[in-house]
Structure 1
Amino acid sequence: MRLIVENLACRRSGRRIFSGLSFTLGPGEALMITGRNGAGKSSLLAMLSGRLKPDAGTIRGEDIGDAGLPECLHVVGHRDGLKSALTAQENLDFARDLLGDAQLTPGEALAAMGLPHVARLPVGYLSAGQRRRVALARLLVCRRPLWLLDEPTAALDLASQDVLAAMMGRHRAEGGLVVAATHQALGLEDARELRIGPATAEQVLDERIEESWA
């Protein structure tokens, strides 16, 4: 698929955060979104996912068949989106049953993230890093061409960051797209960078409020 963004603008609480953002991503490409806290990185991902309406501009996918753009993407946000009372396996079972188009089994996905031993544990008992890896394992359970990742290395140790980098590399090699908001290098070879320019204190507050979508 191709992702095409033209002249995108974002307004939060009556304030224009950014405007005039345009880019195109094709198969196997990656884009790193950088900038200060509150500059609009999470807001941009929310618009790409369809959870936030742009103030101006267009977002569209090409070569996606009859599916709408939201049906072609995975989102991993600041919050892990896991049910604490369910086991790691049950959380991934739910994702597989809800999203369909199975890629790896939940057990295989947990093994790929180095977590086969936590499959039967409620995720409420897991560390922050383990919960993050379970959330990332959902990327492997159901096939989606576009990954939207908001600070994906948060709470990950160095070994887990390497696993994530390899996982994104394989996804791109298969023609997948990656858009990641980040403050650090992610091991994305030949990735392009879109820097969103400086934020005011008011924008930082708006962004913190907005981050509850993830």
Structure 2
Amino acid sequence: MLSLENLAVERGDFRLFEALNLELPQGSLMQVVGPNGAGKTSLLAAVAGLLPMAQGRVCWNKRDVRQNRSAYVANFSYLGHAAGLKAALTPMENLRFLMALRSQQPSTAQMFMALTEVGLSGYEHTPLIHLSAGQKRRVALARLRMEASPLWILDEPFTAIDRQGVVELEQQLHQHADSGGMVLFTTHHEMTPSRLLQALDLTHFRVQEDL
């Protein structure tokens, strides 16, 4: 389980939000919402350890993640605005490289299956420089399937994906939560209402200015 305790995040000298408490148990699908500048991307970056916290702590299974960073990192997958892919490599080569960073060696068949599941059958050996933005995003989403992490931290995962891809990704997020996973994400895409989908509104945690 992921939990955030009294979390505050700043950008420069400006505090984006504070006193944020959240528990994200297994089976959670949590969308972070709020206006531009509310700190949605900053929150996800802080949870992933890419941005320092001004206050509070992030816990994994009740333990501060700073006490055992490597164990926490092994349990989440992060997808930011940039997909973190190498343009000169093919989807297969990118997956092999990214999985090696996690000390994993999937079989060729497993990588083919992951790429097929995200609609990239026939493009497995095409360098990314020749693929569209949406196809590159699908390679990054195939990585999520390969890593099999319980916690997904996704910043605008629907970016550049076509209509059919949006439907498939919504299904993927729900399936992950349904199987006991956790998803913390932002999106400007209007999600289909469901029993799993919850919202974390950052406007409730804005710093109150003195009048």
Query: Could you say what secondary structure the match of 2:93 adopts?
Result: helix
Deviations 1:74-128 (A, max 9, x none): 0111011100000011001112222245678211110000101111011111101
Give % identity: 37
1:126-137 to 2 correspondences below 5 Å: 126-137=131-142
Unaligned runs of 5+ in 1: 199-214
Structure-2 residue corresponding to 1:88: 91
TM-score normalised per structure 1: 0.85
Structure-1 residue corresponding to 2:113: 108
Counterpart of 2:100 (choices 97, 101, 113) is 97
Deviations 1:148-191 (A, max 9, x none): 01011111111001111121122112211000012233347322
Alignment: residue pair count: 197
Structure-2 residue corresponding to 1:13: 12
* Distance in structure 1 (CA, Å) of the matches to 2:112 and 2:140: 14
Distance 1:103 1:59, change over 3 A: farther
Unaligned runs of 5+ in 2: 205-211
* Distance in structure 1 (CA, Å) of the matches to 2:115 and 2:43: 29
Q: Give the stretch that moved more between structures: 63-72 or 36-45.
A: 63-72
Is the counterpart of residue 145 in structure 1 residue 175 in structure 2?
Answer: no
TM-score normalised per structure 2: 0.86
Is the counterpart of residue 164 in structure 1 residue 172 in structure 2?
Answer: no
State whether residues 165 and 188 of structure 1, in contact with CA within 8 Å, keep that contact through their aligned partners in structure 2. Answer: no
Q: Which amino acid aligns with 1:197?
A: T
State whether residues 96 and 105 of structure 2, in contact with CA within 8 Å, keep that contact through their aligned partners in structure 1. Answer: no
The two structures, once aligned, show a CA RMSD in angstroms of 2.1
